[in-house]
Amino acid sequence: MSTFYTQTGDDGYTGLLGEGRVAKHIPRLEALGAVDEATAALGLARATSRASVTAPLLLQAQRDLYQLMAEVAATPENAARFRTINAERVAWLETQADALGSQVNPPKEFILPGDCPAGAALALARTIVRRAERRVAQLLHDHELENGELLRYLNRLSSLCFVLELLENETAGQATSLAKAQAG
């Protein structure tokens, strides 16, 4: 009978794609965790989506994030071997966001998530993608990663999540809830 655990991480260390083991609390592992969370959040959004274009786009983004994670998980000497996120993938996101952005009504103020389940899931995914972006930015600024397209990809993905949130709200027949400051 197979087990679903290895016990190899019980000492607080884990392996990267390459030689050696590293502490589980280092910035690279924080970045990997944030990207992993983003992938799961996109899955929740995909599972609740109603607009026909949303699920296929999110599935492709999830696949891209797995590729992105491989590069982040690679040791510096192995990173190029796992490099698949490039300017072409960033351009794909831009094309999708632009096409969908022309189909939705842009909000006039900040919006509050929660108008429909898929829209709320996309708002959550967007915030998690932004956290992943900050973690990857730290690795790039600390010269632990070289591929700046990883950061650009995450930045564009958060924008796509926002546009898809608007689309899902409209598909569900919900007017976007606007955040207005209330006088005390």
87-112 tens-digit pLDDT: 999 999 999 999 999 999 888 888 88
| CB 68 within 8 Å of CB 109 | no
pLDDT-derived band at 178 (thresholds 50, 70, 90) equals low
> Residue 117: CA atoms inside 13 Å, Cβ hemisphere, count?
8
User: What's the CATH number for 23-103+110-171?
Assistant: 1.20.1200.10
| CB 151 within 8 Å of CB 132 | no
In the chain, domain spans: 23-103+110-171
Query: Which tens digits make up the pLDDT trace of 113-163?
Result: 988 999 999 999 999 999 999 999 999 999 999 999 999 999 999 999 999
Q: Residue length, the chain?
A: 184
Q: Is the pLDDT of residue 37 over 70?
A: yes
Mean pLDDT of the chain: 90
pLDDT-derived band at 23 (thresholds 50, 70, 90) equals low
Q: Is the pLDDT of residue 58 over 60?
A: yes
Tokens representing 175 are: 């007017």
Reduced to 3 states, what is the DSSP secondary structure of residue 117? helix
* Rg of the chain taking only CA atoms, in angstroms: 18
Can you give the pLDDT at residue 182?
A: 47
| CB 153 within 8 Å of CB 84 | no
d(CA 36, CA 113): 22
